[in-house]
Amino acid sequence: MTRTIWLASYPKSGNTWLRMLIANLSAVDDVPFDINSLPDAIASARGPFDHFTLIDSGLLTHDEADALRPRVYDNQAYGAADDEDDAGDTITPVRFVKVHDAYTLTPRGEPLLAGANRAIVIVRDPRDVAPSLAHHSGGTIDAAIAVMADRGSSFCGKPDRQKNQFRQKLLDWSGHVASWLDQRDIPVLRVRYEDMLADTAATLRRILDFAGQPATEPAIAHAVACTRFSALRNREHANGFREAPRGGIAFFRRGESGAWRDELAAAQVARIERTHAPMMLRLGYSLSMPAALPRAG
């Protein structure tokens, strides 16, 4: 049986960087892992669903697909190969799977994200998420802030077109984080993006210990060296990155903590803090505007 570990995060919170770190643990001869060979393990992919269910997912509504997605994850957890695996591959003991979905229930009342043993939940200061999300989507920061405040927001959720991924219900930023931290179905390790930046090796070790994935200290040190943002930006500039948004927008942008201070206007900071102050304080992010503090009583 393969142990599935969800790598869960609101978009633009460090999920891809963590996947790069994990991939580089197995780098051969000190050669960095090819960023365009990153495993396609993502919970919202349609390919494994179509393979396991023998149903063309394009014929289903979002809710109909969601009702069946838990069965696919159950099958994957028990070691069944999917279309993205080579038939001769040996199943690894731990399978890390990227998830942007909030932790929600299907129309039948069961967890959408079944079949996992644990979840690593990556969180990031929403004031840094907003400009990064705007850059990635090619929109404005104000539009990104509005999406982050919308409990009905989703990826690939429009009914008049079919994406290569299933609908991913995001909720608002605070609701997304709470959905993972407050569920009681599987154990969760909360990881702050800022802590990954401050001490990448120690944070990666904590993640691997939680997941039950062995790794030597030299392997961790090499993975950290291979995934510094300057190195990732250079490799994307040289070879492109298949997960980058269309229109020539770079995926690896700044990768900094606190960059919001020179990217957001005061009114934008205030909007984010007023909306998300309780969750920000819960995660240890200080507020810059006293008016955003929750009122007593």
User: Which residue ranges form the domains of the chain, and what is each CATH number?
Assistant: 3-292 (3.40.50.300)
Strand partners for 4: 95
With a CB cutoff of 8 Å and minimum separation 6, the contacts of 25 are: 215, 219, 220, 222, 223
Give, rounded to a whole angstrom, the gap between the first and last alpha carbons of the chain.
Answer: 49
Whether the Cβ atoms of residue 233 and residue 23 lie closer than 8 Å to each other: no
Helix axes 173-182, 266-282, angle to 10 degrees: 10
pTM for the structure as a whole: 0.85
Burial of 120 (0-12, 13-18, 19+ CB in 10 A): buried
Each residue's pLDDT tens digit, 121-160: 999 999 999 999 998 888 999 999 999 999 999 988 777 6
CA dist., res. 1 & res. 117, Å (int): 11
Each residue's pLDDT tens digit, 251-272: 555 566 788 999 999 999 999 9
Beta-sheet pairing, 118-123 with 188-192: parallel
